[in-house]
Amino acid sequence: AQSVAQPEDQVNVAEGNPLTVKCTYSVSGNPYLFWYVQYPNRGLQFLLKYITGDNLVKGSYGFEAEFNKSQTSFHLKKPSALVSDSALYFCAVRDSDSGGGADGLTFGKGTHLIIQP
């Protein structure tokens, strides 16, 4: 079974400072990992994914994430936060051992990111 945890309900960061949103996962095979962002009253938007290859993945809006297999983590990062980054962020995982793959992703509960001016 696959699962994902986002240990922080909310992260507060001052504008211009680096930000990190944490995500850990559990799979029996190899993980496919994703980050999505949700702005108020909108659907989720894809930010980035890790399937294989380089552990540092770069995505949209200047975000990046680092895959750490030994710590089973996939933390989302940005070097300099903007007020417009304030949103709800979801980490998601899929286990490569999940057979046909049709049931999609398992999502974390989300982390509210608040960037203070």
β strands within 59-99, DSSP E: 64-68, 73-78, 87-95
The single residue among 58, 109, 114, 116 that binds other proteins, judged by CB under 8 A, is 109
Position 42 contacts other proteins (CB under 8 A): yes
Position 61 contacts other proteins (CB under 8 A): no
Position 49 contacts other proteins (CB under 8 A): yes
Gap between the terminal Cα atoms of the chain: 41
| Lookup result for tokens 């922080």 | 8
For residues 34 and 90, give the distance between their C-alpha atoms in angstroms, rounded to a whole number: 8
Assigned token pair, 113:
């990111």
Min separation Cβ 13 and other proteins, Å? 21
Min separation Cβ 72 and other proteins, Å? 18
Interface residues toward other proteins, by CB under 8 A: 9, 32, 34, 36, 41-46, 49, 51, 90, 94, 100-105, 107-110
